[in-house]
Structures are given as C-alpha cells and as structure tokens.
Amino acid sequence: MSLPKFEDATFTIECHWEDTSIEDHFSEIGKECLDKLIARLENGDIWAFCTVEVIAEFEGCKGSDFLGGCSYLDENDFKTGGYWEDMQKESFRELVMEVYVMRQKELGLELVNRLSV
C-alpha cells in the first residue's frame, strides 16, 4: 500500500467569509484601519476578513486545514505570510490519513489482521 508523497499532492486555497465579528477580532488596530477593512468587505473583498482553507488532494481524497480571522490583500499575500507552508503540511497530513483509511477499506480486514500479528 503506497501513500502519497508531499510532491504528489495538489494544493489549493479557498477563501471563505469569516463568521465572527471583525470589530471584535481587530479591536486594537485603530478606527481608521478597521474602517478600511470594513470598506473592503463592503466592496466584496473577501480577503479583508476571512477564513482561509488549504486543501491537499490526491486521487480523489482530500485533506484540509483552516485558519480563521485572517486579513490579507489577496492569495499571494497569504502565501508570503508564513502560514501557507505550515497549512500545506497539515492538510497533507490529513490527506495521508484519509488515503490510508480509504486503502484499508479497499483491502478489508486483511491489512488490519496483518498489522496485529
């Protein structure tokens, strides 16, 4: 049973609307900065305040990692912030677990019996 290697996975980023209050989350940045973020949100700029999801995919299986309460200029800004690499690793870890479980189901109990011997 082979599991994917990091370089075998395809990574994507999805930006989701944040469901917490921007005012509560960024209460200490000052009114002017907060007003700019709110204006960006009102103009449909989801990256102003969002939850970022990094997805690792391989052969129909997925693993995800989420980071909420984010504010970035865009996807490229997120990728330069340091979380991108960490979230790739975590989503890949979730992916490997998903592939492992799928492969176990394909093999039935045979694999479990061999591991318990």
Encode pLDDT of 16-67 as tens digits.
999 999 988 887 888 899 999 999 999 999 999 999 999 999 999 999 999 9
How far is C-alpha 2 from the geometric centre of its chain's CA atoms? Answer: 24
pTM score of the predicted model? 0.85
Could you tell me whether strands 61-70 and 50-58 are parallel, antiparallel, or unpaired per DSSP bridges?
antiparallel
Residue 1 domain flag: no
Domain count, the chain: 1
| Distance from C-alpha of 89 to C-alpha of 73, rounded to nearest angstrom | 23
Beta strands in 9-60 (DSSP E): 10-17, 50-58
Confidence band of 75 (pLDDT split at 50, 70, 90) = very high
Confirm if 97 and 63 have CB atoms less than 8 A apart: yes
* 24, two tokens: 């509560």
Confirm if 92 and 76 have CB atoms less than 8 A apart: no
Residue 15 domain flag: yes
Residue 42: which domain range?
6-116
Residue 34 domain flag: yes
At 117 the pLDDT is 44
| Distance from C-alpha of 107 to C-alpha of 24, rounded to nearest angstrom | 49
Residue 104 domain flag: yes
Asked if pLDDT for residue 14 goes beyond 70, the answer is yes
At 31 the pLDDT is 87
Residue 50 domain flag: yes
Beta strands in the chain (DSSP E): 10-17, 50-58, 61-70
